[in-house]
Amino acid sequence: MRGDFPGGGVRPAARAAALVFLALGAASCKTFDDVMVFAFGRSMRDQPSFDPYENTRMPAEGSVPFAAGNYPAGPDMLNVGQPQSAEYDIPPFTQADMARGGAVASGLVNPVPATPESLQRGELLYNRFCTVCHGAQGLSAEAPILDKLRVMAAFNLATGAAVTHTDGYIYGMIRVGRGLMPEYGHRITHFDRWHIVNHVRQLQRNAAGGGAAPAGGAATPAGAPAGADTGAAADTTGGGG
């Protein structure tokens, strides 16, 4: 019989110990941690740590802040580790501000002249980000997205209310969006937004037969005070921008 074999009486105890071990393992590491806390008073699960922003440290004395990727020092510069030296500051505004008329954004002054280089850069970025909804010529009826999703019809940029908006308002729409239009501030950097604005003005001139710059662009000449009332008509029709 089994009990007659040497050591046969140990087998039931071994099976019981194995069952206990499996039960502890099935209960995950938390149970083992609880046993360790009970035995030794501590566990790796309970250790001092800081929550985000709980113990924020100031920069070391004498350190030099570097330019943020979104705000290079100039329109033709890349951030390659140079110290922050921008001479401009953009006041905060949101989609809600744009929906109420965009007074803050409308007062922003376009710091980028519409040079051939700016227009070339603006066209490249416009085709990359804007053409799909607004059309290559700024006419939303020609937008490629309409073949797939009619509900995404956007406003014309070459005609209509967009002509009356200031450069700053168009910049603001690119940065934070409004309605169906998403924000592009995290994908299009500060000066690149102004390059797109310059290209949009060129599309408006093309639609008008190559005439003078639209009134919206003339409302924010270089040197105009930031936040000035430009008298631009607000687009209150809702929907995408």
What band does 164 get if pLDDT is binned at 50, 70 and 90?
very high
Structure confidence at residue 226 (pLDDT) = 36
Residue 172's alpha-carbon distances to 51, 70, 188, 190, in angstroms, are 34, 15, 12, 10
Task: Dump pLDDT digits (tens) for 23-54.
Answer: 655 555 566 667 767 777 766 666 667 777 67
**Best CATH choice for the domain 95-218 from the list 1.10.760.10, 3.40.50.720, 3.40.50.1470, 1.20.1270.10:** 1.10.760.10
Please tell me which residue, 94 or 238, carries the higher pLDDT value: 94
Residues in the chain: 241
CB 37 within 8 A of CB 46: yes
**Average pLDDT over the chain, rounded to whole?**
75
Structure confidence at residue 216 (pLDDT) = 54
Task: Dump pLDDT digits (tens) for 54-112.
Answer: 766 777 787 766 655 566 777 777 666 666 555 667 888 999 999 999 999 999 999 99
DSSP 91: P
Residue 105's alpha-carbon distances to 90, 124, 228, 236, in angstroms, are 9, 24, 10, 16
Structure confidence at residue 186 (pLDDT) = 86
> Distance between CA 124 and CA 112 in Å, rounded?
16
Share of the chain above pLDDT 70, in %: 62
Tokens 């030296």 locate to: 85
Structure confidence at residue 227 (pLDDT) = 34
Q: At what angle do helices 11-26 and 28-40 cross, to 10 degrees?
A: 100
Domain boundary assignment for the chain: 11-57, 59-87, 95-218
* Run of H or E including 119: helix 116-129
pTM of the model: 0.61
Report for 4-13, 69-78, 189-198, 225-234: range of highest mean pLDDT:
189-198
Burial of 180 (0-12, 13-18, 19+ CB in 10 A): middle
Residue 155 pLDDT > 50: yes
> Distance between CA 198 and CA 122 in Å, rounded?
7
The amino acid at residue 151 is V
Tokens 């936040």 locate to: 227
Share of the chain above pLDDT 90, in %: 37
